[in-house]
Amino acid sequence: MADEQVKRKRTFKKYTYRGIDLDKLLDMTSAELTQLVHCRARRRFTRGLKRKPMALIKKLRKAKRVCPDGEKPEAVRTHLRNKIVTPEIEGSDEGKNKGKTYNQEELKAEMI
């Protein structure tokens, strides 16, 4: 009877944002992504990202570009806590300032 039981493979939940897979989100332009997000984020994108959020995005892009394939990028330290997580910065590490120290946090797909 034990031989008859087949071991099931563990299936992982595939992440979707409003019915769209993460792979398709990465291929979208910023204008298409703006139409998907909630009102507050849409308003912020249409008014334009200011200097500090753009500088953080550039640092995260650079950290991803420099790291070898298959490895996690180096953490980027920041004081920004009110940023909007976009699909392109998903998978990056950041250190959020907590006053005296930095808390390391990975930006996950669920945060989009």
DSSP at 99:
S
DSSP at 84:
P
Distance CA 107, CA 96 (A): 11
pLDDT of residue 2: 55
DSSP at 40:
H
Q: Tell me which residue has tokens 């008859």.
A: 4
pLDDT in tens, the chain (112 residues): 555 567 778 788 888 999 999 889 989 998 999 999 999 999 999 999 899 999 999 999 999 999 998 888 999 999 998 989 999 888 899 999 999 999 999 999 888 8
Q: Tell me which residue has tokens 């139409």.
A: 35
